[in-house]
Chain A
Amino acid sequence: MDLTPTVDQEEIISSTRAFLADRLPVARTRELIEEPSNVDIDAWRGSAEQGWFGLGLAEALGGVGVGLADESLLFREIGRSLASGPFLATTLAVRVAAAAGLDDLAASLLDGTARAGLAEPRSQLGSFGPGSIDGDLDLFDPVGAEVVVLAGVEGAALLSMASLSGARAVECIDPATRLHEARADSAAPLAFVGADVDPVFLRGVTLSAASLAGMAEALRDLSAAHARTRLQFGSPIGTNQAIKHPCADMHIRAEAAWSQTVFAALALDEGRADAEFHALAAKVVASQAARRNAAASIQVHGGMGYTFEHDAHLYMKRAHVLGHVLGDARWAQARLLDLPVEL
Chain B
Amino acid sequence: MELQFTKAEQEFRDEVRTWLSEHAPRERRPRELRAAREFDLSWQHTQYESGWAGIAWPVEYGGRGLSLTQQLIWFEEYARTGLVAIDSRFVGLAHAGPTLIARATPEQQTQHLPPILRGEVVWCQGFSEPEAGSDLASLRTRAIVDGDDLVVTGQKVWTSFAPIADWQELLVRTDTEVPKHKGITWVICDMRSPGIDVRPLRTIEGTAEFAEVFYDEVRIPMANVVGAVNDGWRVAMSTLSFERGTAFTIDQVQLAMTVDRLIDMARQRTGFDGRPLIADEAIAGDLALARAEVSALRAMTYAGVSRNLRRAEPGPEGSMFKLAWSELAQRVDRLAMDILGSGGLRRRHESPDTEWIDRYLSSYSNTIGGGTSEIQRNIIAERVLGLPR
Interface residues of A (CB under 8 A from B): 1-6, 9, 69, 220, 224, 227-228, 235-236, 238-239, 241, 243-245, 247-249, 251-252, 255-260, 262-263, 266-267, 269-270, 272, 277-278, 280-282, 284-285, 288, 329, 332-334, 336-337, 341, 343
Contact = CB atoms under 8 A, between A and B. Distances in A.
Given A69-B1, A252-B380, A259 B385 contact: no
Contact of B387 (A238, A336, A341): A238
Tier of interface size on chain B:
35 or more
B293 interface: yes
Interface string B292-308: 11011111101101110
Nearest to A332: B288
Interface in B354-389: 374, 376-378, 380-382, 384-389
A337 B291 contact: yes
B101 to A, nearest CB: 26
Contacts of A241: 374, 377-378
Nearest to B80: A343
Contact of B278 (A69, A252, A337): A337
A262 B295 CA distance: 12
B381 A256 contact: no
Given A5-B1, A248-B380, A251-B381, 16 more contacts: A3-B299, A4-B303, A4-B306, A4-B310, A238-B388, A241-B377, A248-B385, A251-B320, A262-B299, A267-B3, A270-B3, A280-B292, A285-B293, A332-B288, A337-B263, A341-B256
Contacts of A263: 3, 295, 298-299, 302
B284 interface: yes
19 contacts: A1-B3, A1-B302, A3-B1, A3-B3, A3-B303, A228-B388, A251-B320, A251-B380, A251-B384, A252-B380, A256-B293, A256-B299, A260-B295, A262-B299, A281-B295, A281-B296, A285-B295, A336-B292, A337-B291
A248 B284 contact: no
Given A252-B323, A256-B300, A9 B1 contact: yes
A279 B388 CA distance: 37
**Residue of A249, A272, A332 with most partner-chain B CB within 10 A:** A249
Interface in B335-349: none
Contact of A235 (B263, B374, B388): B388
A252 B381 CA distance: 10
B2 A266 contact: yes
Contact of B1 (A235, A266, A337): A266
Contacts of B292: 260, 280-281, 284-285, 336
B287 A262 contact: no
B1 to A, nearest CB: 5
Nearest to A284: B292
Interface string B121-133: 0000000000000
Contacts of B278: 337
B309 interface: yes
A248 B388 contact: no
Contacts of B76: 343
A246 B368 CA distance: 18
Contact of B295 (A4, A269, A341): A341
A277 B384 CA distance: 30
A183 B285 CA distance: 31
A263 B298 CA distance: 9
A72 B361 CA distance: 41
B18 to A, nearest CB: 15
A276 B269 CA distance: 28
B300 A255 contact: yes
Contacts of A267: 3
Given A69-B1, A249-B377, A239 B300 contact: no
A151 B357 CA distance: 44
A281 B381 CA distance: 26
Contacts of B36: none
Contacts of A256: 293, 296-297, 299-300, 324
Given A9-B1, A228-B386, A247 B381 contact: yes
Contacts of A329: 289
B351 interface: no
A257 B378 contact: no
A9 B386 CA distance: 27
A227 B385 CA distance: 10
